[in-house]
């Protein structure tokens, strides 16, 4: 623009001296303009370009910082979620520990009940073992003796009838003998019925709810007692120790799990506190680096 102005002035000016003076002024002005343009280029344009480059670098670093902040926020959220899950697992473990402890406390009482039941079965078996010989001696053997006596009287009657066939002159003796045999049969039958009734009465007094015969119920009771005793003994010898060991193992495992969860919760609390403080400190550090 200055050069164009100079050319225009040269065309319009007719005074040589004035033109020379004006030319000198224009030359000085041109030099000043050149110096000004040079200074502007050195002192303004280049710093502005450097500032723009620095600004672009700063914006790129700002994006990196924002990405780091976002990543840290995701880590914090994941840590909080993990901490929440750990708290839930800890609550479940505590409930399982309490439940296991309660059941473990019930185990000794169950063992005592089994032992008491075993003792009662032993007592019942002993009673039956004593009653069977007593019933046999008091009722069965006398009934057997009556039966033997009945058989003996029957044989005697047969012999008497045989004698009446050979000696027809003593029919009265045969009739009397027959009457004696009949009386003996009736007496034996009555004694057998009384023995059976007495045995059943004794058994009904001991077990009022029983409906079966004494011998059948006694045999069934004896077999059932032996079976229950065997099962109780097996349970006492095998199942109860096994159950106790299982409960101890589960309690130990739950104790270990409780300790691990408590340790994990403490670590999560520490990590959570550090993560809560991390974004602010990280941003300040990165800004300080950029400022340098």
Residue 213 inside a domain? The answer is no
Residue 225 pLDDT class (50, 70, 90 cuts): low
The number of domains in the chain is: 1
Residue 281 pLDDT class (50, 70, 90 cuts): very low
Residue 82 inside a domain? The answer is yes
- Decide if pLDDT at 62 tops 80: yes
Residue 192 inside a domain? The answer is yes
| CB-based contact 107:244 (threshold 8 Å) | yes
Residue 258 inside a domain? The answer is no
Question: What is the rounded average pLDDT for all residues in the chain?
Answer: 64
Collapsed DSSP state (helix, strand, coil) of residue 100? helix
- Decide if pLDDT at 163 tops 70: no
- Decide if pLDDT at 284 tops 60: no
| CB-based contact 199:139 (threshold 8 Å) | yes
Sign of the alpha-carbon dihedral angle for 11, 16, 18, 24: positive
Name 235's Cβ contacts closer than 8 Å, sequence gap at least 6: 114
Residue 282 inside a domain? The answer is no
d(CA 282, CA 292): 16
Residue 214 inside a domain? The answer is no
d(CA 135, CA 218): 11
- The token pair at 3 is 């050069």
Lowest mean pLDDT among 28-42, 48-62, 135-149: 135-149
State pTM to two decimals.
0.28
Q: Which pLDDT belongs to residue 282?
A: 45
Q: Which pLDDT belongs to residue 151?
A: 59
Residue 287 pLDDT class (50, 70, 90 cuts): very low
Instruction: Give residue-wise pLDDT tens across range 101-116.
Output: 677 777 677 777 777 7
CA end-to-end span of the chain = 43
For 182-191, b/e burial (b = at least 16 CB within 10 A) is eebbeebeeb
- The token pair at 22 is 């004006």
Centroid of chain to Cα 149 = 73
Instruction: Give residue-wise pLDDT tens across range 229-275.
Output: 566 566 556 665 666 676 677 667 656 655 765 665 565 566 555 55
d(CA 168, CA 162): 10
Residue 211 inside a domain? The answer is no
Q: Which pLDDT belongs to residue 178?
A: 46
Structural domain including 168 reads 1-206+221-250
> Hey, how many other C-beta atoms are within 10 angstroms of the C-beta on 118?
17
Residue 292 inside a domain? The answer is no
Q: Which pLDDT belongs to residue 159?
A: 58
């Amino acid at each position: 623009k200055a050069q164009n102005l100079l050319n225009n002035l040269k065309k319009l000016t007719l005074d040589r001296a004035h033109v020379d003076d004006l030319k000198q002024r224009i030359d000085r002005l041109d030099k000043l303009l050149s110096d000004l343009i040079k200074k502007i280029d050195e002192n303004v344009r280049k710093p502005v370009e450097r500032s723009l480059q620095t600004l672009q670098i700063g914006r790129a670093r700002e994006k990196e910082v924002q990405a780091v902040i976002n990543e840290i926020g995701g880590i914090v959220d994941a840590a909080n979620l993990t901490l929440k899950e750990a708290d839930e697992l800890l609550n479940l473990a505590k409930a399982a520990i309490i439940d296991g402890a309660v059941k473990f406390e019930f185990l000794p009482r169950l063992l005592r009940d089994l032992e008491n039941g075993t003792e009662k079965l032993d007592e019942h078996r002993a009673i039956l073992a004593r009653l069977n010989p007593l019933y046999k001696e008091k009722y069965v053997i006398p009934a057997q003796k009556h039966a033997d006596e009945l058989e003996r009287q029957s044989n005697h009657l047969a012999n008497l009838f045989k004698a009446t066939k050979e000696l027809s002159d003593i029919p009265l003796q045969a009739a009397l003998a027959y009457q004696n045999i009949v009386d003996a049969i009736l007496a034996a039958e009555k004694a057998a019925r009384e023995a059976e009734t007495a045995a059943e009465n004794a058994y009904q007094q001991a077990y009022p709810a029983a409906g079966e015969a004494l011998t059948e119920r006694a045999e069934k009771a004896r077999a059932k007692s032996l079976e229950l005793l065997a099962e109780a003994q097996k349970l006492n010898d095998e199942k109860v120790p096994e159950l106790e060991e299982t409960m101890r193992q589960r309690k130990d495992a739950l104790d270990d799990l409780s300790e691990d969860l408590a340790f994990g919760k403490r670590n999560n609390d520490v990590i959570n506190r550090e993560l809560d403080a991390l974004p602010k400190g990280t941003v300040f550090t990165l800004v300080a680096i950029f400022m340098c």
